[in-house]
A and B are shown apart, each in its own frame.
Chain A
Amino acid sequence: MPMPGRHPGSAASRAVQALIVVAVAALLAVLAMTTAAHLQQRGIRSGFDFLLEPAGFTLGESLLPVDAGDPTVLAFAAGLVNTLRVAVPGAALALVIGVLAGFGRLGDNPLIRGLAGAYVNAFRNVPLLLQLLAWYFILTDLLPPADAALSLAPGVLLSKSGLALPWWGEAGFELPVAAGFGIEGGARLTPEYLAMLIGLALYSAAYIAETLRAAVVALPAGQRLAALALGMTPRQAFRLVLLPQAWRAALPPVTSQLLNLFKNASLAVAIGYPDLVSVAGTSLNQTGRAIECLVIVITVYLLLSLAAAALSHRLEARVLRGGVA
C-alpha cells in the first residue's frame, strides 16, 4: 500500500526527509541546550567519570563483593548480576511451572483442570507488583523469627531472615543451624530475593500456561481426530501429534514472556532487592547524574532485548528446520 504522490528517491521525497531530519535535530538541540542550562543552574556536573569514583553506598546483597569505597561501575555490575541472579532461575522455574499448569488445563482430570485454570486466572489478573508485595509481606512478617525457623527438610530452614540451605562453608559442606538470634552455616537466600523469585516465576508461569493452552486449542480439530483414527490413545495423540505442533506455535510468545520476566525484574526496586534499576536509582539520588544513570539502564536492557531476540531467532530456526521435534 504505497503512499501517493511521493516516490522513493524523488526530489519531493528527499526534501520531506531532509525536513524531518532538520526538525528532529532542532528538537534534540533545544532539549540538549535546556538540559545543559538546567544542569549548570543546579551545579550538577555531567559525564560518566562518576563511574570510577567511589560509589558511597552499599548493596543489600550481592554476589560480587562490593562496598561503599569501590568504584560506582562495580556497584552497577553487581546490580546487573543481581538482576540475572533472580531472572535466570526465575525463567527456568516459570517454564517448568507454566508447562505443568498448561498441561493441567489441557488434561482430562476435571479437578486438575479447575485448579490450573483458577491459578492462571488469579495470577494473570492481579498486578505483579501487588503480588511481589504480598510475597514480601508473607516472608518477612508472617514467618517465624530465625530462632524458631521452620525446618522444611534436614538443613533447610525458613524464617523471617530468609531461606537457609546446606552449602559449602569454611568447614566444608555444612548444614545451617539456629544459633542464638540468627542462623549459622550454609547459604542464605534473603526474603527480598525469594519474594522476587517466587513472584516473577508464578506470574510468568501463568502466562506461559495460557500461551501453551491457546496454542494447543488453536490446532485444527482434524489433527486430533486423525490421530485417534490411526488408533492412538488420547494421550498418545496429545504427546505425538498435538504437542510438537503447538510447541512451535507457542515458542515466539513464550520467549517474549521470558523477556518480560527480565524486564519485570526491575520491580525489585519496590521491595528493596538491589537489581540494576535499584542501583541506578540509588546512584542517581547520590550523584544527581540522572541522564548518565538512566542511559546505562536503558542501554543494558536494550542489549539484553537484542541478545534475547537473536537467541530466539536461532532457536525458532532450529525448531522449524528440525521437523517434528
Chain B
Amino acid sequence: MKPTLRQRLAGDPLNLTLTVLVVAAAALWLPPLLRWALLDAQFAPDAAACAALGHRGACWGVVAEKARFILLGRYPADENWRPAVAAALIAASWLAVARGWLPGRAVLPALAVPPLLAIALLGGGFAGLAAVPTELWGGLPLTLLLTAAGMAGALPLGIAVAYGRRSSLPVLRGLLTGYVELARGIPLVAALFVASFLLPLFFPDGVAVDMLWRVLIAIVLFAAAYLSEIVRGGLQAIRPGQLDAAAALGFGHWQAQRWIVLPQVLRAVAPSLANSAIALFKDTSLVTVVSLYELTGSLSLALSGDAQWRPFYLEAWLFLAALYWAGCALLARISSAAPRQP
C-alpha cells in the first residue's frame, strides 16, 4: 500500500509543514530569481548596458566576452584551434567510453593516448607547429590534460604498488605502505607545494623541469596512492579458485595475474576508479595555487584585473560551475557504464 502523493505531501504535520515551507520559499524567491536570470538579464557582451543594470539582472554577456580566456587561458590567440582540438580529443575519449562505443579491450588505451596527443599538440615544435611553452597552457585543455594524464600515469603505478604491498618481502611492503599512508595523509595543496618548491632542488644541475611536469609528477604520485588502495581491495576480492583453475590450465603466476586476475579486478573496481577520476577532475582546480591557470585559475585571471567586468564574476562563475558539473556528470556516466563492458 503505497502512500498517495497527497499523503506524502501533507499526510502528517511534519510533511505538511515542510511542504508549506518549500512552497512559500519558492513563491518568495523564484520570481525574483527568474527576473534576475532571464527577464531582466543582459545577454550581449555590452559592459555599459550591464553596468546600467546594477545587478538587477544577470549580465550573461560576461560569458561571451571572457569565454575564450576562461576556456583557453593565455594560449596564443592565433593558435586557438590547437587547445580546442586537444580538449576535444580528451573529452571525446571520455564520451566514447561513457557511451560504451568501444570494446572493453580498447578502453584503457583509448583513455591513455589522447592526453599524449594533447601534450604534443599543445607543445608543438614539430611539423610547422610553433612551440608554445607550458606556462601559456591553460583553461579547459589544461584541466582535462591534468585529469587524463594524471589518471593514465597513476593507474599503472597504483597497480604496481598494490602488487608490491602483497609481496612476501617485508621491506618492500613496509616502504610501499609508508608511501601510501604518507600520500593519503597530506592535503593535495601540500603535495603541490612540494612539487613547486622542493622538486627543483632534487633535480641535478642544469635540469630545469617546467612547473607543469612537476605538478603532474605530484598529481600522479598523489593519485596512485589512492588508486593502489582501490586495486588492492579488488585483488583481495578475487577468489583463490581462480588462480587454482589458471594453474591447472598451465598458466604461470604472472600469466595468471595478467590474463585472469587483473582483468577481473579492473572491471570490478572500474566504478571506484571513475570516482577517483571525478575527484581528480575537481582537484585539478588546486593547481592554481602554484600558478598554473586551468579553468578555475583562468576565471580569476580573466576577471580580477578587469574593473569593467569583475562585478559580474558570479555570472562567469555559474558558467564555469556548469562546465565542471557537466564534466563530473560525463565521468559519472563512465562509472555507471563500466561494469557492463565485456
Other-chain contact of A24, B55, B175, B194, B282 (Cβ < 8 Å)? B175
With known contacts A13-B169, A109-B18, A127-B282, A35–B185 Cβ distance under 8 A: no
> Shortest distance in angstroms between B72's beta carbon and chain A's nearest beta carbon?
18
Contact A108 B8 (CB under 8 A): yes
Is the CB of A302 closer than 8 A to any CB of chain B? yes
With known contacts A6-B169, A20-B172, A137-B313, A110–B5 Cβ distance under 8 A: yes
Complex CA–CA separation, A281 to B22 (angstroms):
45
Which residue from chain B places its CB closest to the CB of A270 in the assembled complex? B289
Some 13 contacts from A to B, beta carbons below 8 A apart, are A3-B167, A8-B169, A20-B175, A37-B205, A39-B201, A126-B324, A130-B317, A137-B313, A263-B188, A266-B189, A277-B190, A301-B190, A302-B181
Contact B22 A111 (CB under 8 A): yes
Which residue from chain B places its CB closest to the CB of A301 in the assembled complex? B186
> Which residues, 73 to 120 on A, are CB-close (under 8 Å) to B?
107-112, 115
Which residue from chain B places its CB closest to the CB of A137 in the assembled complex? B313
Contact B168 A302 (CB under 8 A): no
Complex CA–CA separation, A280 to B194 (angstroms):
12
Interface string of B221-259 (1 = CB under 8 A from A): 000000000000001001010010000000001000000
> Shortest distance in angstroms between A114's beta carbon and chain B's nearest beta carbon?
9
With known contacts A37-B205, A133-B296, A294-B197, A8–B170 Cβ distance under 8 A: yes
With known contacts A35-B201, A111-B22, A127-B285, A134–B314 Cβ distance under 8 A: yes
Q: Which residues of B contact A (CB under 8 A)?
A: 3, 5, 8-9, 11, 15, 18-19, 22-23, 55, 166-172, 175, 181-182, 184-190, 193-194, 197-198, 200-205, 235, 238, 240, 243, 253, 278, 282-283, 285-286, 288-289, 296, 299-300, 311, 313-314, 317, 320-321, 324-325, 328-329
> Which residues, 1 to 44 on A, are CB-close (under 8 Å) to B?
1-4, 6-8, 13, 16-17, 20-21, 24, 31, 34-35, 37-39
Complex CA–CA separation, A281 to B11 (angstroms):
56
Contact B9 A110 (CB under 8 A): yes
Complex CA–CA separation, A301 to B243 (angstroms):
40
Which residue from chain A places its CB closest to the CB of B324 in the assembled complex? A126
> Shortest distance in angstroms between B58's beta carbon and chain A's nearest beta carbon?
13
Which residue from chain A places its CB closest to the CB of B198 in the assembled complex? A290
Contact A31 B202 (CB under 8 A): yes
- Tell me which residues across on chain B come within 8 A of A38, comparing CB atoms: 200-201, 205
The 6 A-B pairs of least Cβ separation, nearest first, read A290-B197, A125-B328, A263-B187, A127-B282, A266-B187, A305-B185
Q: What's the count of A-B pairs with C-beta under 8 Å?
A: 163
Q: Which residues of A contact B (CB under 8 A)?
A: 1-4, 6-8, 13, 16-17, 20-21, 24, 31, 34-35, 37-39, 107-112, 115, 122, 124-130, 133-134, 137-138, 141-142, 263-267, 269-270, 277, 280-281, 284, 290-291, 294, 297-298, 301-302, 305-306
With known contacts A111-B19, A133-B296, A290-B198, A297–B190 Cβ distance under 8 A: yes
